[in-house]
């Protein structure tokens, strides 16, 4: 497609704006010029017609012209200044003033002579082909029919006319003046439009340069100065906000990688040490005592389990849809908690786990919510003493898990939901420090809240509050 519209779209934005401004001004100027021309034409025509209607030729001239035309008087009649004058009698015979071309006699003119009409205004071409504007009015003159004869009154029609070209010349001059002024106006508008486009698009140029700089250098510290409250300022603020968010996201990503590398280093180092011991034993032929070998293999298994758990948590945090919840469904929180309790009892068979679960239905992603409840119960199992008790209560949307572990110091509570953060007292226990961070994100995506508090008799109490109802909504499919 190579039409005018396609070529217009390929022009730079400032050129398009200048062209649009010039076009708009040209259309406006053309409309104003045309309106001015037509209004002036109407005014001139009205003024000409008014002048013709108000023109009355004096009777002495009319008598002289009539007597000259009928041969009563041999004295020549002078021309009438500024107008063509023509007399019309009842038979339609016309007599024109000297140095003037005859005008055609129309039916309207004859109606005026017979006093059927008070006047007739029309346009006609004279004998020379010149278009004339003619006004005919009735008149009665008293003339002598000859020497020694009585005077008589005669009804005549008097036509006064002026050339139409008088107005045409003025209108032609006006048209050229308007065309010249319009051309100057369009050229000036185009120049002004180009200047306005350059001035108005300067912030856009700065924004484009900033975007290109970021694309080439990946420097997200670039900020565009914001001036005013217009759309360009809004675009600049949005760009600054976007680069700030990208910079924050990149910093968090770098921090996540650094933290993950730090956390992975410990189990990998221990695993490498244990594997090297086993390999050296096989290479040297020096058998490791059975009890030591069994302990070494148990350590390797535990480190591999910890490494697998850490990698799983990292995958959960790094998946593309981690920041956005999956499809929300109405799910029974009490059933999810009951399933998580079965898994918790398998991991801590020596513990006593009590449960009081009232029905409660919430909107959440089923798999993510179950993982969050499992993580909370796993923490309670991990920190509970042997033969300890864990109390789980679900009442009106608040799920509380209370253990009898060592508890969390008050100065550490603000950090428990941070990624990779682990209490100094828990660094020797298995875990990645990501579980509670994942729990907090899942609960927030479901519109709820989570808090860790010191238990009434010691230990820790985890409280999860989720909006919902004791009965599922009508016709809502359960997840």
For residue 137, the surrounding DSSP H or E stretch is: strand 131-144
Angle subtended at Cα 452 by Cα 450 and Cα 458, rounded to the nearest 5 degrees: 150
User: What is the tens place of the pLDDT at every residue in 318-366?
Assistant: 655 444 555 778 899 999 999 989 888 877 788 899 999 999 999 888 8
Q: Of 134, 150, 148, 152, nearest to 63 (Cα)? A: 152
- State the residue for tokens 């120049």: 191
Across 296-437, where does the E strand assignment appear?
Answer: 329-332, 352-357, 361-364, 389-395, 398-402
Angle subtended at Cα 405 by Cα 401 and Cα 410, rounded to the nearest 5 degrees: 85
- CA 234, CA 262: separation in Å to the nearest integer? 42
- CA 262, CA 431: separation in Å to the nearest integer? 14
Q: What sign has the CA pseudo-torsion 444, 448, 454, 458? A: negative
Extract the tokens encoding 409.
Answer: 């110091």
Q: Of 453, 16, 437, 392, nearest to 198 (Cα)? A: 16
Q: What sign has the CA pseudo-torsion 274, 279, 284, 286? A: positive
- CA 279, CA 193: separation in Å to the nearest integer? 81
- State the residue for tokens 């034409």: 41
**CA trace torsion 231, 232, 234, 237 (10° rounding):** 180
pLDDT score, position 311: 73
Q: Alpha carbon of 272 to those of 245, 285, 291: distances in Å?
A: 39, 20, 20
Q: Of 336, 274, 279, 317, nearest to 479 (Cα)? A: 336
Contacts of 111 (CB under 8 A, 6+ apart): 117, 120
Contacts of 350 (CB under 8 A, 6+ apart): 386, 387
Domains of the chain in start order, with CATH, are 74-164 (3.30.450), 231-318 (1.10.287.130), 329-469 (3.30.565.10)
User: What is the tens place of the pLDDT at every residue in 395-436?
Assistant: 988 999 999 888 777 777 766 776 655 555 544 444 455 667
Per-residue pLDDT of the chain (479 residues; tens, 9 = 90+): 455 655 656 666 667 777 777 788 888 888 888 899 899 889 988 998 898 888 888 888 888 888 888 777 666 567 777 788 899 988 888 888 888 888 999 999 999 988 888 899 999 998 888 999 999 999 988 877 666 667 778 888 999 998 888 888 888 888 898 888 888 887 887 787 777 777 766 777 777 777 787 778 877 777 777 777 777 778 778 888 888 888 877 776 776 676 566 556 656 777 788 788 878 877 887 777 888 788 778 777 767 776 776 676 666 666 554 445 557 788 999 999 999 898 888 777 888 999 999 999 998 888 888 888 888 888 888 888 888 899 999 998 899 999 988 877 777 776 677 665 555 554 444 445 566 777 888 888 888 998 888 877 778 888 999 998 888 877 655 55
How many Å is the Cα radius of gyration of the chain?
Answer: 53
- CA 379, CA 401: separation in Å to the nearest integer? 10
Query: Is residue 381 classed as helix, strand or coil in its secondary structure?
Result: helix
């Amino acid at each position: 497609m190579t039409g005018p519209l396609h070529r217009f779209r390929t022009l730079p934005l400032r050129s398009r704006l200048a062209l649009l401004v010039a076009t708009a001004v040209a259309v406006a100027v053309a409309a104003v010029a045309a309106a001015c021309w037509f209004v002036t034409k109407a005014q001139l025509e009205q003024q000409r017609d008014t002048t013709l209607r108000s023109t009355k030729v004096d009777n002495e001239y009319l008598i002289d012209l009539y007597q000259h035309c009928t041969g009563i008087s041999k004295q020549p009649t002078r021309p009438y200044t500024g107008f063509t004058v023509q007399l019309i009698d009842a038979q339609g015979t016309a007599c024109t003033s000297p140095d003037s071309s005859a005008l055609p006699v129309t039916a309207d003119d004859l109606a005026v002579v017979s006093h059927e009409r008070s006047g007739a205004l029309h346009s006609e071409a004279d004998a020379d082909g010149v278009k004339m504007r003619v006004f005919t009015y009735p008149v009665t003159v008293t003339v002598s029919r000859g020497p020694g004869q009585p005077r008589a009154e005669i009804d005549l029609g008097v036509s006064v006319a002026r050339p139409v070209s008088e107005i045409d010349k003025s209108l032609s001059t006006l048209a050229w003046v308007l065309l010249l002024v319009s051309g100057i106006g369009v050229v000036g508008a185009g120049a002004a439009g180009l200047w306005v486009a350059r001035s108005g698009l300067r912030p856009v140029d700065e924004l484009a340069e900033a975007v290109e700089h970021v694309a080439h250098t990946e420097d997200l510290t670039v900020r565009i100065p914001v001036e005013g409250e217009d759309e360009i300022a809004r675009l600049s603020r949005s760009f600054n906000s976007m680069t700030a968010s990208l910079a924050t996201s990149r910093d968090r990503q770098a921090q996540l990688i650094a933290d993950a590398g730090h956390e992975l280093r410990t189990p990998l180092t221990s695993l490498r040490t244990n594997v090297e011991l086993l390999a050296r034993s096989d290479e040297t032929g020096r058998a490791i005592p059975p009890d030591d070998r069994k302990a070494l293999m148990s350590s390797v298994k535990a480190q591999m389990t910890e490494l697998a758990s850490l990698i799983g948590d990292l995958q959960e945090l790094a998946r593309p849809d981690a920041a956005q919840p999956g499809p929300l469904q109405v799910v029974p929180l009490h059933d999810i908690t009951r399933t998580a309790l079965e898994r918790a009892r398998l991991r801590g068979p020596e513990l006593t786990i009590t449960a009081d679960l009232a029905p409660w239905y919430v909107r959440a992603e089923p798999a993510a919510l179950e993982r969050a409840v499992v993580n909370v119960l796993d923490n309670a199992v991990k920190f509970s003493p042997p033969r300890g008790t864990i109390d789980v209560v679900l009442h009106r949307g608040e799920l509380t898990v209370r253990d009898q572990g060592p508890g969390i110091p008050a100065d550490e509570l603000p950090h428990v939901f941070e990624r990779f953060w682990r209490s100094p007292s828990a660094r020797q226990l298995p875990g990645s420090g990501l579980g509670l961070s994942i729990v907090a994100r899942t609960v927030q995506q479901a519109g709820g809240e989570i808090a860790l508090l010191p238990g009434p008799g010691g230990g820790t109490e985890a409280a999860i509050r989720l909006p919902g109802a004791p009965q599922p909504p009508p016709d809502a499919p359960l997840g």
